Structure formats: C-alpha cells, structure tokens
Structure 1
Amino acid sequence: MKHAVLITGATSGLGLAYAKEYAKRGYNLIITGRRENKIIENANYIENTYHVKVKVVIVDLAKEEGLNLLLNEIKEEEIEVLVNNAGFGLKPVFSEVPKEDVDRIMFLQMNAVVLLTQNILKQMLPRHKGTIINISSDGAFAVMPRNVLYSSTKLFILNFTEGLYMELIDTAIRVQVVCPGFIDSDFHESAGMKVVKKKNGFMKFMDPQEIVRLAMKDLKKGRVVSVPGSEAKIIRFIAAFLPRKIFYNIIINFTRKRNHKLDTNIRKNDD
C-alpha cells in the first residue's frame, strides 16, 4: 500500500480522530487495535465515507509478539506517516500495580514506540519524506499520584521525540509530539477509572477531533511540541516555572480535592 498512514490504537478516541483526518486528506490507512468488531466497523465507515483503502491489523502492542506481528505485516508497505497513539492508563497506586501491568505499559509506551519508529524511519529516510507523530500527554509535564507510570512513560515519549527531531533536523522527516489534556474518549473507562467528564471550565474534556485539528495546525507551523488546549498549556507553564516544593503541594491538593469530588459524584449517581 502506497501513500499510507499507520496509526496505532485507532479503535476510538484520538487514534480514530487521526484516522478520519488523514483519510479526509486522501491517505490510505493501516490501523491497529485489539477490539476487532469495533475497529473493523471504523474501517468500513472510513472506506465508505472517504473512499480510501484501510488495512486493519488486530494486535496487542503491549507484548513483544504483537509488535513483531505488526512489523511483519507492514514490511512491504510504503508508510508516509506514523502516528504512535496506542496507550493505556492504570488505576491503582504504584505499589499496587501488578507486575504484568507494569511490563505491559512500559513495553507499549516505550519499547513499541521506539522500535516501530526506528523500523519505519529506516524506510522514510531513503525516500526523503515522512512524518512521525508521537502521542504523549500533559502528564509528561506534571506527574500526579495514581498516574506515576503513565506520566513517566509519556515523559519518555516527549524526550524521545524532541531528541529525534534534533537528530533529523537536516532531513526532510517531520517530527512532532502531541501532549493533550483530558480527552473525551473511552480511555478512562478502559482503565477502570470512574470520571465525571466536564465539557466546560478548567480541566474540561476536549473532543478528539478538535485536538487533532490543533495538533495538525501546529505540525504545519513546524511546532515540535504541540500542546492542544489552554488547560494543558497552563499545566506545562506551572510545572516549568514553579519551585518544586510548591508544585508538589499544588498537585497533591488538587488530586485530593479531585478524588473527593469524584467520590461524592459517584455516590450521588449510585443513589
């Protein structure tokens, strides 16, 4: 397949939004996910709506065998754009996270990103053309309790992408890392988290398509680190300039208030 975009984690949310955006631009797609019925439904919709080819690869990229399966599936494909989006969060405090979940999140959000990027970069360089988009999070700027591993792996993605950008500065390969805040998707439900999704005010949940629109606008401008949404920008600013002790106190207090409010809302909904 030529003129292709590979998007990992395209079952819903940001991955699906990127799939629709690139299909609208006339690109063929290779999309991955684990929920077969849902992702095939997405593929059929995109093909019928945008009249492009969509190849579906059902794979679990949190495991080495899953990554190897995908690499084998794409070895003959001509990929112009890579969107490393697949990821998941963990609910428990760090001390309670099972080793299996530790291994899965670290492989998916570090190893898989690095190895997939390296594999595809090697085919982009001889063609002197390509775009690599890695999805991080505002959590890369501000780690929070009960979010330790997720934020740490997202910080890795941020640093990896910025380093890659500098390494490729003399090539025609474009590189971007996207660091959104809360996304209106099924991400939290998949992680077993009960959340109240605010649509307005501070820390509101943004529509995935709007995040992609803002990130693509930044990509066109050559902005390496895209931080869609004012809330994510505020978090980045606070984390960068506040003394660490003050920063810790703000995050701890915010987390406690958020958890208390969330527990209260959940109890009300359960009554």
Structure 2
Amino acid sequence: MSRRPRALITGASSGLGRGYARTLAAEGYDLVLVARDETRLSELAEQLQTTQHILAEAVVADLSTRDGIDAVVEIIAAQQIDVLINNAGFGLRGTLLDTGIAELNEQDRVLTGAVRELSLAAARRMRARGRGGIINVSSLAAVTTMGQYAASKASTLVFTEALAGELRDSPVTVTAVLPGFIRTEFHSRLGVERPGPGLIWLSVDQVVRESLRDARAGKVVSVPGLGYRLAAFVAPVVPRPIMRWGSTGFSFARTRNR
C-alpha cells in the first residue's frame, strides 16, 4: 500500500483538471482521476505513473447521471482521499429558452449536485480522520446572471462557504475557486469564440498554482489573477441592473459566435 497522499480529481482528462493532476503528481500525490473520456483519462494516468512514479487510477464516470455520482461516492467511502478537487465542467451551446429542461438538469447535476454529494462524503471522512482538503471549482460567473451555468456556480459557491463554516473548527479546509477566463478547450468544445482581449485569459498553470496556494493557506474563496481579484472585490457593490445588462450582452455575443 502506498503511503503517499491521495487526491481525487473530477474532470481530470483535460483543462484545469489535467493541470491539477500534473501538479499534484509532481508533488508526489497518488491520484484518482475521474472523467467521461476513457481514452484521454487512461493516457494521462499511464503518463503520470511513468514520469512521476506515483499511482494513478482512471475512473470513467458521467457525473450527470446517478450511477456516475454513486460510483465516485463509493470510491470516497472505500479509499483514503486526502484532497478532493471537484472540477468537472458542463457547458451549454444555447440560451435558457433554447435548451431542453433535461440538459439544464444535467448541467446543474454536474456543477452543483455532484459537487455537493462528493464534498459531503469526503468532508465527513476527513473530519473523522482529522485532516483533508476540498477544492470546489466555481467561477467568477457566479456573480453574474449568465444563465444556468452562473446559477449553478453561484449555488456551489454558497454551498462551499457554508461547508467551510461548519468545518471552521476542524483541520479540514474547504475552498471555492472562482476563475475568470482560462485558456482551455472549454470554449472550442462549445463552438464559441473566446471573448475579449488576450490579457484577460489566465493559464491553467497560474490558476492551479494560485488556487492550491490559497487552499493550503485555509482561504475559503480563491480568485486567481490580480485583475479578477479586483473584479470580485468590486462585484458585490455593482447594482444588479448593471450586472444583468452586462451579462445579457455577453450572452448575445456568445450566441452570435455559435
């Protein structure tokens, strides 16, 4: 049995999840990598085992389904997970009115329901052991009105803050990460163009580095990037009509780029 710490990462086959996996493997963590793409997931697990000499388990699970969530909860119950990173994403190509209710529910299940269930399963075991850390990837979109995505991310932010409050007197840390725009495959997979100038785009490495630093420092909310930290600081005082106007403008631009 390995004595190395073990991290479970959802959405690990690409983007931010892949970045967390590479960083933690380099730090000597064993990994449980969860995603839907079996080919990419298995390739990543094999690569990290070979290059970093750690153990990496590939778990194929669709967190938009009951079976997928249950499968990962069972892993948390059966293994010692020292760090849980809820990163699985789900984007929609259409607006609220153009998207079927089933797909909206699937998105909410991935971005909110799965995060809640996995976090609670891990938190209970971590509290009993007296150590552990949970990172839930929300989004700076949580302060906007950008459709169901923003609504689900806002729910995850509040849930994470509430869970952190309940664990404040324990050694277990809980952190919500609110990234802005990140250079990943997320937008290209949705078939939309990246909005805005290049300077607003953060690298995966920066987001991973800063969010892990904040989580280890016990911060409840982490906003990577100085510009985005300033935006998050100002957002609560922005009148909601202005926030709605700005969010709607972004949605229209997104629709035209489909």
Letter in 2 for 1:205: W
- Asked whether the 8 Å contact 1:181–1:231 carries over to 2, the reply is no
1: CA distance between counterparts of 2:21 and 2:57? 11
Whole-angstrom distance in 1 between the partners of 2:116 and 2:244: 30
The answer (yes or no) to whether the contact 1:71–1:116 under 8 Å persists in 2 is yes
Aligned length: 256
| Separation in 2, partners of 1:225, 1:235 | 14
Report the equivalent of 1:269: none
What aligned pairs does 1:1-271 form with structure 2 within 5 A after superposition? 3-144=5-146, 148-190=147-189, 192-196=190-194, 200-201=198-199, 204-253=200-249, 256=252, 258-259=253-254, 263=257
Secondary structure of 2:198 counterpart: coil
Q: CA deviation at 1:74?
A: 4.0
Contact 1:238 1:247 in 2 (8 A): no
- TM superposition score normalised by structure 2: 0.91
Quick one: structure 1 residues 100 and 165, their matched pair in 2 at CA, closer, same or farther if it must change by over 3 Å? same
The code of the aligned residue for 2:62 comes to D
* Alignment check: 8 A CA contact 1:184 1:197 kept: no
TM superposition shift of 1:195:
1.1
CA distance in 2, matches of 1:205, 1:179: 14
Change (3 A) 1:229 1:104: same
CA distance in 2, matches of 1:178, 1:45: 27
Specify the code of the residue in structure 2 equivalent to 1:247: M
Pair 253,77 (structure 1): closer, same or farther in 2 beyond 3 Å: closer
Deviates more, 1:34-43 or 1:66-75: 66-75
Check whether the contact 1:13–1:185 (CA below 8 A) recurs between aligned residues.
Answer: yes
Contact 1:5–1:27 (CA under 8 A) maintained in structure 2: yes
Counterpart-to-counterpart distance in 1, 2:197 and 2:254 = 18
Structure index of larger Rg: 1
Q: Percent identity?
A: 32
Which is further off, 231-240 or 122-131?
231-240
Change (3 A) 1:18 1:221: same
Runs of at least 5 residues in structure 2 that lack an aligned partner in the other structure:
none
Secondary structure at 1:79's aligned position in 2? Answer: coil
Shift of 1:253: 4.3
- How many angstroms apart in 2 are the aligned matches of 1:91 and 1:213? 30
The answer (yes or no) to whether the contact 2:183–2:203 under 8 Å persists in 1 is yes
Give the gaps of 5 or more residues in structure 1: 267-271
**1:149 is paired with a residue of what secondary structure?**
helix
Runs of 4+ in structure 1 over 4 Å off: 253-256
Taking a change above 3 Å as real, the CA distance of residues 161 and 259 of structure 1, as seen in their structure-2 partners, is closer
Q: TM-score, normalised by structure 1?
A: 0.87
1:141 and 1:235 in contact (8 A); partners too: no
- Distance in structure 2 (CA, Å) of the matches to 1:9 and 1:250: 29
- Is the Cα–Cα contact under 8 Å of residues 6 and 80 in structure 2 kept in the other structure? yes
Query: Aligned in 2, Cα 1:242/1:52: closer, same or farther, shift over 3 Å?
Result: same
CA–CA separation in structure 2 for the residues paired with 1:188 and 1:80: 31
Structure 1: how far apart are the matches of 2:22 and 2:133?
A: 17
Do the aligned partners of 1:84 and 1:135 also contact (CA within 8 Å) in 2?
A: yes
* Matched residue type, 1:200: G
